[in-house]
Structure 1
């Protein structure tokens, strides 16, 4: 039994506008466009890129997100092209106290932070999204939980961050970065898992709780009425979606 990582979900005041920004920046296609949800996905159907889903949210963003995306670059020139393109599409530069670093910190049109990385060898084969980064007080503990949840092995464990990635070596990394106040920040981004067709979602929810997932009260409203809403060991809410029927 297992689940897989399906998408990164953005709460957005204007879902279509934010989805269009990310679609144009990443070169991905809008695959779902409904009033209650817009989805953007990589064009390669055989790849393991995680989709981006945009859901309506009336409340404006009020704090730094716990989750952000890191974008890859093939060269320093490509990094600058990515930055210039993002700015032309409506992004803005953001100072989070990062100081003099080789990556560039930006925010999308609704203020969701993301980084355009300098070239790094470990991200040469990830596609446009190098990593999904989660702020955490305990990188290894959260990596262990999400490894069990996504079925991805832990690939690195260092003092201030840990990471997991699909065993196929395709798609983005899921990385966990030590940030001391991570658990106190609200995030407009969350992760969605999906059950495999042969597996019982109720059994998978029980398995996730046994791995450390926490029950949620009202929590975030799932876009799918049959979804199960839980939280990881650091209270990052996520949804477990039922398998998609053929």
Structure 2
């Protein structure tokens, strides 16, 4: 469950990013799920939502979690995420990983498996 000021918009972002379907959408939240399996990501309306910062800074809302997505082509995956409204984080700690920020500011990582780097 990711908190956000606009759960429907964040659901649309992750639906497009991952190719998952929006499986729930109402005034309080939304969810996306893959075509097969039991996993899903839910988005909950949070009044007064404050985006986390990456990397962590003293006295500022810290990241409490992040999502990792393995990709085949890191450059293409980053370009796709940017087209959908993500931002590339300023701090990039590894060459085979790109830390991205979704439209609500949640960090997520796109990464290449060690065999693909």
TM-score under structure 2 length normalisation: 0.81
Instruction: Say whether 1:211 aligns with 2:84.
Output: yes
Instruction: Say whether 1:144 aligns with 2:22.
Output: no
* Residue matched to 1:172: 39
Structure 2 spans left out of the alignment, 5+ residues = 52-60
Determine the C-alpha separation between the residues in 2 that align with 1:144 and 1:216: 21
SS in 1 for 2:38: coil
Select the structure of larger CA radius of gyration: 1
CA contact (8 A) 2:63 2:107 kept: no
SS in 2 for 1:233: coil
Runs of 4+ in 1 over 4 A off after TM superposition: none
SS in 2 for 1:145: helix
* Residue matched to 1:57: none
Q: Which of 154, 158, 170 is equivalent to 2:26?
A: 158
- Equivalent pairs, count: 107
Determine the C-alpha separation between the residues in 1 that align with 2:20 and 2:68: 15
Determine the C-alpha separation between the residues in 2 that align with 1:172 and 1:207: 22
Deviations 1:108-130 (A, max 9, x none): xxxxxxxxxxxxxxxxxxxxxxx
- Aligned-pair RMSD on alpha carbons? 1.8
Q: Which of 191, 216, 222 is equivalent to 2:67?
A: 191
Structure 1 spans left out of the alignment, 5+ residues = 1-132
TM-score under structure 1 length normalisation: 0.41
Q: Which of 86, 98, 108 is equivalent to 1:228?
A: 98
SS in 1 for 2:27: coil
